[in-house]
Copies of this chain bind each other. A is one copy, B any other.
Amino acid sequence: MATTVRQIDRYAASIAPFSRFFSSSIWARLNEPGVANFAVGNPQEMPLPGYVEALGRALRPLDKDWFAYKLSEPRSQAAVARTLSGRTGMAWDPADVAMTNGGFAALAVTFRAILEPGDEVVFLSPPWFFYELLILGAGGVPVRVSLAPPVFDLDPATIAAAITPRTRAVLVNSPHNPTGRVYPPEALGALGEVLAAASERNGRTVYLVSDEPYNRIVFDGREFHSPAEAYPATIVTYSFGKTLLAPGMRIGYVTTPPTMPDREGLREALFVAQMATGFAFPNALLQHAIEDLEGLSIDVGALERRRDRVVAALRGMGYATTNPEGTFYVLAQAPIDDDMAFGEALAELGVLVLPGTVVEAPGWFRISLTASDEMVDRGLPGFEAARAAALERTPA
C-alpha cells in the first residue's frame, strides 16, 4: 500500500553494514580451527574466575524477593554513585543512577527520554555500529560529523557547525571505538562551551551524551575524565560488558551528574523510557553482585602490552596504525582501498578483522586486543603475508 520507506526498513538500512559483515564469508570462518579472531570485542579466553565466583555467591537466595521484579536496586545505585563520586570528585546522587540491561539499552533509554520526533542528535563518525539505529529508534534525526583520519581528533568547531535549532544532543564516545582516542579535557571543555552557547541560543538544553563503556580501559597510566566534569548537562551511559569482558550478561547504567539542570524531570523521563523500552533493567542476579562487579576487571596491563606488541609489529611491516590510548581496538590502514577485500584476504590466511567499511572507516580495518596472546602469535604472520600479497598485485 504505502510507497514510502517503512520505519523498520529505515532501521534495517542503518545497520546494513553490520548485518552484511556478520553474514559475510569473512565471519563465516569464525569457527574454523586455528583462526586468530581480532574481529570483535568478545572474550577469547575463559571468563574471570572472580566473576564466576561473584555470581555464584549472588545466586544463593537470601529472601523471597531474591528473583522478584527489580528496578534500579538501591544497592546498585549506591555502588555506582560511590564509584562516580570517587572518579569525578562530584557528590553523585544515587537517585540519579538508572541501572539498565547493558550500555546498548542505556543509550536506547537515553534517547527515548530526551528526544521528541524530529530532534537532531549529532554523532561522530567512525561510530559504534548502532548509534544511528538508536537515534532513529527514538524518533530522532541522526546528524553525522566526521573525525578526520589519521588522528581522529575531537573538533569542537566542526561539531558547532553541525548544531541547529533542532539539535537536542551531541553523542561523544571516549575512549573512542574504533580509534582508541581518549579526548583530552581541553577539547571536552571547548565542546562544553559550544553546547552551553547552543543551549542558550536554542532556548532548551543541548545534552552531551557521553557513551563511556571503555572508561576503565585506558593505557599508559592515563586517568579518564568524563565530559560530565566539563559540562553540567551530560548524560553518561556505561556498560559493565567491557571491563568484565562478559557482554552476554547485560548490565550498565544511565546517569547524570549533580550539576545536571532539572535533574528530577530527567530522572522521571528516564524511568518512563526504561518502561517504554520493554523494562530495560538488569537481572536481579547481576544487581545482587554489584559491589563485586564494580571492583573486578580484566587485566588492562595485558591489553596494553598486547597493544604495544601489535602496533610495533604492524608498523614494522609497513602498516599505518593508530596507537590507542584506550579501548580494545587498534585501527590499521589496509594496503589497498578495498578494506572488505583485504579483510577477505586476511580471513583466507586465518586472521579475522573488522573491515573499516562496517564502521564508516573505509580503507582501514579494526583489530580487537581481546584476542589472546597465542592468537597474536598465530595472526602476525598472516598480517605480513596479506600485505605483501596485496602490494604485489598492486602496481606501485
Contact = CB atoms under 8 A, between A and B. Distances in A.
Given A109-B278, A278-B101, A249 B64 contact: no
A290 interface: no
Nearest to A244: B67
Interface residues of A, number: 73
Contacts of A69: 40, 42, 247-248
A32 B203 CA distance: 47
19 contacts: A6-B116, A7-B116, A7-B117, A46-B63, A47-B61, A51-B67, A56-B56, A66-B248, A69-B247, A70-B248, A102-B279, A106-B278, A107-B278, A108-B277, A108-B278, A133-B275, A249-B283, A250-B279, A285-B285
A158 B67 CA distance: 39
Contact of A8 (B44, B107, B113): B113
Contacts of A286: 283
Given A104-B278, A130-B275, A285-B285, 11 more contacts: A7-B117, A11-B275, A12-B268, A15-B272, A43-B68, A56-B56, A68-B246, A70-B248, A100-B278, A109-B278, A250-B279
Contacts of A245: 67
Contact of A285 (B43, B105, B107, B249): B249
Contact of A59 (B40, B45, B52, B64): B52
Nearest to A270: B8
B134 A12 contact: no
A101 B46 CA distance: 25
Interface of A: 1-2, 6-8, 11-12, 15, 40, 42-47, 51-52, 55-56, 59-61, 63-70, 100-102, 104-109, 112-113, 115-117, 130, 133-134, 136-137, 139, 203-204, 245-250, 268-269, 272-273, 275-281, 283-286
B43 A250 contact: no
A279 B105 contact: yes
A167 to B, nearest CB: 13
Nearest to A248: B284
Contacts of A67: 43, 47, 51, 245-249
A108 to B, nearest CB: 3
The 5 A-B residue pairs whose C-beta atoms are closest, nearest first, are A108-B278, A248-B284, A105-B278, A67-B246, A137-B276
